Structure 1
Amino acid sequence: MKLNLLNRASPIASLCLCLLSTTIAQRTHAAPFQWPVAPLIERPAEPDAIPLYDLPSPAARPDPTAETWARALHGREVRNVTQPVLLPVLPQAGKANGTAVIVAPGGGFRSLAIDNEGLDVAKGLAAQGVSAFVLKYRVVPTPADPVRFAADMTRVIAERKEITVNQASLEDAKRAVQLVRQRAGSWGVHPDRVGLVGFSAGAMVTLRASVDPDPTARPDFAGMIYGPVTSIPVPAGVPPIFVALGANDEIFARGNFGLIEGWQKAGGAVEFHLYEDGHHGFGMKRHGTTSDLWFEQFLSWMRMRDLLR
């Protein structure tokens, strides 16, 4: 599927504008546009990381040192992920309620907003007794040097370059759902209470996994936070879904809301919040807008569906 980065008049093309991810609200009306340079930081230790795939030998494993970590506007971002893992954020002993949520950060399939749309979300879920897992999925390779990366992103946007949605990211999301179900007992999770919530590009893979022909790859419930809401084919058997979007989202509020109607026609339950103000990429940061309420409303929706018992 080919997507034009800056053609906002096209609902399909607008999907790719998730390249702007978590900082687009701060970068409006600037001409000429310059992608900000995010300084590199040391890669953190991840002793509890759970590999998504069993590889036959160390020689066959992708090099995890290729990862590039940087300090962006709303927390850390990671690029050049070659070895996808789940980062568990578990409730305190005795507090688990049997529900698991996999969190898929956004970043235009080129980076992952690992804090604002990942670990911060997971910590909030774990505080409610949910076994949370941040999905560090594979992304498109980019220059490790932050100046080169910023220049490359500036050029891509200026040239309206077309890209293909990263299939590896979707494969990782589906594998994550299957893996958490397979190992549900070790975390005190019910295998029929495994959810997937994604942001921007992560919302795109959440949506695709939720309509996947393979029922083992579909989550039991889903959350799409500033993701695409235009019409797509929706099969029967889709999970209940929570959708949150700013009415002034520079990326995904430029078309129709056919996904909501299609979901309902397919027999799926939908909770849809369209905030007057919020822009794109609000995540867990507070901005003084009604979109600040999305996480509490997501928890309320989970509570209504008996997922926080």
Structure 2
Amino acid sequence: MKYAFLNLIIFFSCLVEAQSNNVIELWPNKVPGETQPKQEAKQTNNTTGNVIRLTDITNPILTVYKPKKPNGSKAGIIICPGGGYKILAINKEGTEIAKWLNSLGYTAFVLQYRVPQKREGALQDLQRAIKWVRSNTALYNLDDERIGVMGFSAGGHLAANASLNFQKQSYMAIDSIDKASSQVNFTMLIYPAYLDKGEHNSLSPELKIGDKKAPYFIFGTIDDPYGNSSLVFTTALRNNKIPVELHMLPKGGHGYGLRKGKLAAETWPVLAEKWLQSILSQ
């Protein structure tokens, strides 16, 4: 009973938080390729680890988190939570990350992309989100050449896919927003998954690395069951002379977010903060 009550508090705090921030419905009319009617995302009964897990997302949204004290970089960062393309760990890898970015002075956008098992739809959602942010930079005092994406686990795969395949028209244009580019200016992947699904654990075939030189930050651990993704993807970027900074700790596992108590969770934010400062000071 005690834990059920605690989880209710967490859920309603997330709900109030979302209501107090600017929530954008990405697709004003029909969602491309979606067969189910639009509805609010459903929370699963599994709240293990004080994680709010959302599923059955048919109406993708983008929630805006503005910093109290902008740092002057004019950078906006779109966050893609993980969850194996089945659910979204919306607080641990979404709202909590947005608050951390806000504390550093960055404007953050948490994406609720389509799940479960709708990878093409998820790519459409992220491409649309990037275009929406780039089309609305004046609203948040952002630079349209400083739009980045940040993904965790499956969200890391989604972020990598969108970063590389920005020239792919995954859906038909529906309005003026789609005239904007879906190309991002930097990418951050935290314990990414599914990047090594090619033959003999090589680069996943959908990840087409071109000559785009925007930088990448990648963090993982050796004992992560998905840890090979970070190594394979970094090697592919390096071989194509694309700037990449990789950090791998010996231990940490997977899915730790930035919650206290694990060295990996307490390490990557420090490194990521320094990396952001370095690329945005240029």
Q: Which residue of 1 aligns with 2:99?
A: 123
Whether 2:73 is the aligned partner of 1:88: answer no
Superposed counterparts of 1:57-206, under 5 Å: 62-65=37-40, 67-68=42-43, 70=45, 71-92=47-68, 95=71, 97-140=73-116, 166-206=119-159
**Structure 2 segments unaligned to the other structure (5+ residues):** 1-6, 169-180, 197-201
Q: Distance in 1 between matches of 2:261 and 2:29?
A: 43
Distance 1:248 1:261 in 2: 19
Q: How many residues align?
A: 244
Q: CA deviation at 1:239?
A: 2.1
Displacement, 1:61? 9.7
Q: How many percent of aligned residue pairs carry the same amino acid?
A: 25
CA distance in 1, matches of 2:245, 2:124: 26
For the residue of structure 2 that corresponds to 1:73, the secondary structure is: helix
Counterpart contact for 1:78–1:113, Cα < 8 Å: yes
Query: Which moved further from structure 2: 263-272 or 45-54?
Result: 45-54
Task: Letter of the 2:141 partner, please give it.
Answer: G
The TM-score, its normalising length taken from structure 1, stands at: 0.71
- Contact map agreement 1:211 1:238 (CA 8 A) in 2: no
Q: Which residue of 2 aligns with 1:245?
A: 220
**3-state DSSP of counterpart to 1:138:** coil
Match for residue 243 of structure 2? 269
- Whether 1:220 and 2:196 are equivalent positions in the alignment is no
Q: Say what the alpha-carbon RMSD is for the aligned residues.
A: 2.7
CA contact under 8 A between 1:277 and 1:291: conserved in structure 2? no
Greater CA deviation, 45-54 or 188-197? 45-54
Instruction: Tell me whether 118-127 or 282-291 shows the greater mean CA deviation.
Output: 282-291
List alignment gaps of at least 5 residues for structure 1.
Answer: 1-38, 141-163
The answer to whether the 8 Å contact 1:276/1:290 transfers is no
Equivalent AA in structure 1 for residue 23 of structure 2: A
Does the C-alpha gap of structure 1 residues 275 and 67 become closer, same or farther in structure 2, counting only changes over 3 Å? same
CA distance in 2, matches of 1:130, 1:185: 15
Contact between 2:191 and 2:230, CA under 8 Å: does it hold in 1? Answer: no
Letter in 2 for 1:217: S
CA distance in 2, matches of 1:225, 1:94: 24
Equivalent residues in 2 for 1:29-48 (5 A)?
44=15, 46-47=18-19, 48=22
The structure-2 alpha-carbon separation of the partners of 1:176 and 1:255, relative to structure 1 and needing over 3 Å to count, comes to closer
C-alpha separation between the residues in 1 aligned to 2:150 and 2:56? 22
Looking at structure 2, the residues matched to 81 and 212 of structure 1 have their Cα atoms a distance apart, in angstroms, of 23
Length-normalised TM-score, structure 2: 0.78
Considering fraction of residues, name the structure with more helix.
Answer: 2
C-alpha distance 241-63 of structure 1, shift in aligned 2 (>3 A): same
